[in-house]
A = this chain, B = another copy of it.
Amino acid sequence: DADLAAKMGLDQKYRSIGVVSARTGASPQVMAVDEAVKATNTEVVSVEMPRDTKTGAGHGSLITIGGEDVSDVRRAVEVALAATPKMFGDIYANDAGDIEMQYTARASYACNKAFGAPIGRAYGLVCGAPAGIGVIMADTAVKAANVDIISYASPSKGTSLSNEAMIHISGDSGAVRQAVIAAREIGIKLLSTMGAEPKNQHPSYI
């Protein structure tokens, strides 16, 4: 509906809109949509990250994808849904909190829209909850390899008031991956001292 599209702030050029929406997890869906827009003739229209009581310390997600063609958008949503489980692979949680890592050798429109990642360059996310864990992980990551910090986010800025601290990093793909892996190691160690062994629910992909 054109009036609704206007109220939603959507560009009138999109004939079709797809929606990826979840109670739990924002970054996995962003990464999955990143794959989807690489694979299809579509664009990322908006990325929103709600608070939700299913999200623990973190976010849910509402991502809209636009295209001129219904079949393109439908395909993009299919690709995104298929890619989502993989992107949960480097989220480790126990009762005390959770840590979350993402990595791509080549960021596309979703990472750019959501996290300010330069398009075409390697991008990494290092995130921990409660937020204090994320601060230590961020410090460890940037000391482990020569990467650019795109931004730092914490409860009062760059998150939806969530109990997380995180950095978005960019740079050489090997360096970004090394930084993310160093953060994962310290994050698992920190969470382990506060509770049971942190587990991921899908195989690690980084």
Contacts and interface: CB of A to CB of B under 8 A. Distances in A.
A57 B97 CA distance: 19
A165 B7 contact: no
Interface string A6-34: 01100000000001111100000000000
Interface residues of A, number: 49
Contact of A149 (B3, B57, B162): B3
A147 B60 CA distance: 30
A126 to B, nearest CB: 11
Nearest to A135: B19
A51 interface: yes
Contacts of A7: 149, 151-152, 167
A57 B55 CA distance: 10
B56 A53 contact: yes
Contacts of A21: 130-133, 135, 163
Interface in A143-177: 143, 149, 151-152, 154-156, 159-165, 167
B155 A62 contact: yes
Interface of A: 1, 3-4, 7-8, 19-23, 48-57, 60, 62, 64, 96-97, 130-133, 135-136, 138-139, 142-143, 149, 151-152, 154-156, 159-165, 167
